[in-house]
Amino acid sequence: MKKIIWFGLFGAIAFNSLLVGCSTDNTIECPADYEGTLVTEENGLLGTWELTAIVAAKEVDITKDDVQNPKKDIYVQYTDCEKDSEYTFGPGRAYEFAQGQNASNCSNKLKIEGTWKLSSDILGLIGNCSAQNLKIVFNEGKSAFTTTSNYTITDVNGLTVQTDVTFTYTKTEATN
């Protein structure tokens, strides 16, 4: 009888600790939008920047053309819809990233809107309830910038390749 009471008491305590440990608060805390007037270094980023190059440090084949042709140039292996990628940075700190919006027959269209700031070559983006910080490098004329990150790419044969990938965006349209 004592064993039954102890097991019952232990079970009740264990069950109550589960209830106390659980929370029904499912609130998601999104990062705060960037605010304030632009500083001088940020004015050069205003406008639309189109994806013009993607280069990997290691060769990879992502084309389904039945030919083994790995390349470091990822951009030439992309479809028109994948290449159709651009950032637009506005004077009120608003930005938009769009993919597949201009090319024909794109099924995976993407549009992200948020706020941005540039400080010491770090481009901060807040959108879709997440924050991203990209180190960007401008070319000499500030008509293009690059950003490099490390990715794991799955090639056409299902093999994974971990490599640095550099994306180049070129200014197509200025915004005042």
Q: Using 50, 70 and 90 to split pLDDT, how confident is the model at 28? A: confident
Q: How far apart are CA 62 and CA 69, in angstroms?
A: 9
Predicted pLDDT at 25: 66
> What percent of the chain clears pLDDT 90, i.e. is strictly above it?
73
The CATH number of 40-173 is which of 3.10.580.10, 3.40.1380.10, 2.40.128.20, 2.60.40.10?
2.40.128.20
Number of neighbouring beta carbons within 10 Å of residue 15: 10
Encode pLDDT of 63-74 as tens digits. Answer: 888 888 889 999
Predicted pLDDT at 52: 98
Predicted pLDDT at 176: 59
Q: Are strands 160-173 and 47-60 parallel, antiparallel or unpaired?
A: antiparallel
Query: What are the structural domain ranges in the chain?
Result: 40-173
Over residues 155-171, mean pLDDT: 96
Encode pLDDT of 118-134 as tens digits. Answer: 999 999 999 999 999 99
Encode pLDDT of 131-155 as tens digits. Answer: 999 999 999 999 999 999 999 999 9
Over residues 107-116, mean pLDDT: 94
Q: How far apart are CA 156 and CA 62, in angstroms?
A: 5
Over residues 92-120, mean pLDDT: 94
CA 176 to chain centroid, in Å, comes to 26
- HSE at residue 47, side-chain half, CA atoms within 13 A, is 17
